[in-house]
């Protein structure tokens, strides 16, 4: 891990591989350097994975309180990296960030992969599109996120005090960014037509947060998008099916 600046912020950044830059935008937790998905994806280019402001050891200024703010920070981060266009792989809330970025600066992105993305409202106003994870027991939330939680989740009792502090910091920041309105920007869907890059929408077949109907509705707002289902995975297929997901992404990026 290294540290890079984006404006006044210091961002924790994981870099792996060589070649065309692949910006990897995480969801509820930063990408672990030990994750098999990183090495597999790095076969297709240089993976650059920043931790969001308020996640990992990345700084969090007092004024930053929305996904839109994070999108602007990451556009400035791309200025620091340099280059004309980028491929982006974004998971969960990271998909929302990527969509915001691509509507603001469509010329900067060559291809987008949005895995279990949130960020828009497609259902009736009196019903949540994305279940409220903060309003249910953790065990129930885990069952919505993972196909087989026991195979993926760490034993919390074995985590160090530092690891526990970073986990709770991530949860606190996530609530700050997505709470109201819950998991979406009411304006985003009216801007999605601006995204010029070919886009792959993917979800795990057992995803309990992002339904197939939600994903299909999201994709219809973009002019050049298609969908893919990853078998044997829930909301975070990069953890449960890293090989299947990375190989599918590689094929999309290279064709």
Q: How confident is the model at residue 156, as a pLDDT?
A: 87
pLDDT classification of 255: cutoffs 50, 70, 90: confident
**pLDDT, mean over the chain:** 96
pLDDT tens sequence across 183-227 = 999 999 999 999 999 999 999 999 999 999 999 999 999 999 999
pLDDT classification of 249: cutoffs 50, 70, 90: very high
Q: How confident is the model at residue 246, as a pLDDT?
A: 98
Domain boundaries 2-254, corresponding CATH code: 3.40.50.1820
Q: Please, which contacts does 141-147 make with residues 24 or more away whose CB atoms are closer than 8 Å?
A: 143/208, 144/208, 144/209, 144/234, 144/235, 145/208, 145/209, 145/234, 145/235, 145/236, 146/234, 146/235, 146/236, 146/239, 146/240, 147/204, 147/205, 147/206, 147/232, 147/233, 147/234, 147/240
pLDDT classification of 119: cutoffs 50, 70, 90: very high
- Is the pLDDT score of 120 beyond 90? yes
- Is the pLDDT score of 154 beyond 90? no
pLDDT tens sequence across 217-232 = 999 999 999 999 999 9
User: What is the arithmetic mean of pLDDT over 15-39?
Assistant: 95
Q: How confident is the model at residue 47, as a pLDDT?
A: 98
Q: How confident is the model at residue 193, as a pLDDT?
A: 98
Q: How confident is the model at residue 40, as a pLDDT?
A: 97
pLDDT tens sequence across 39-92 = 999 999 999 999 999 999 999 999 999 999 999 999 999 999 998 899 999 999
Q: How confident is the model at residue 204, as a pLDDT?
A: 98
User: What is the arithmetic mean of pLDDT over 22-38?
Assistant: 95
């Amino acid at each position: 891990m290294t540290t890079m600046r984006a404006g006044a912020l210091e961002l924790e950044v994981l870099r792996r591989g060589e070649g065309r830059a692949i910006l990897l935008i995480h969801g509820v937790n930063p990408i672990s350097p030990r994750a098999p998905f990183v090495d597999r994806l790095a076969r297709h280019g240089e993976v650059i994975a920043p931790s969001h402001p308020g996640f990992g050891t990345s700084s969090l200024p007092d004024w930053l309180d929305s996904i839109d703010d994070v999108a602007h920070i990451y556009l400035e981060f791309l200025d620091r990296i340099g280059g004309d266009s980028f491929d982006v792989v974004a998971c969960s809330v990271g998909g929302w960030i990527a969509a915001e970025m691509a509507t603001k600066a469509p010329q900067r992105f060559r291809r987008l992969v949005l895995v279990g993305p949130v960020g828009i409202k497609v259902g009736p106003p009196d019903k949540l599109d994305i279940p409220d994870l903060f309003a249910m027991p953790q065990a129930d939330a885990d069952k919505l996120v993972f196909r087989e939680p026991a195979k993926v989740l760490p034993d919390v009792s074995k985590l160090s005090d530092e690891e526990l502090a970073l986990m709770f910091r991530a949860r606190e920041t996530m609530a700050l960014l997505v709470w109201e309105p819950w998991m979406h920007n009411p304006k985003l869907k009216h801007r999605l037509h601006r995204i010029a890059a070919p886009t792959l929408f993917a979800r795990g077949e057992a995803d309990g947060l992002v339904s197939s109907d939600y994903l299909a509705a999201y994709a219809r707002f973009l002019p050049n998008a298609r969908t893919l289902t990853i078998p044997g995975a829930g909301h975070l297929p990069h953890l449960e099916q890293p090989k299947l997901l990375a190989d599918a992404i590689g094929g999309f990026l290279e064709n």
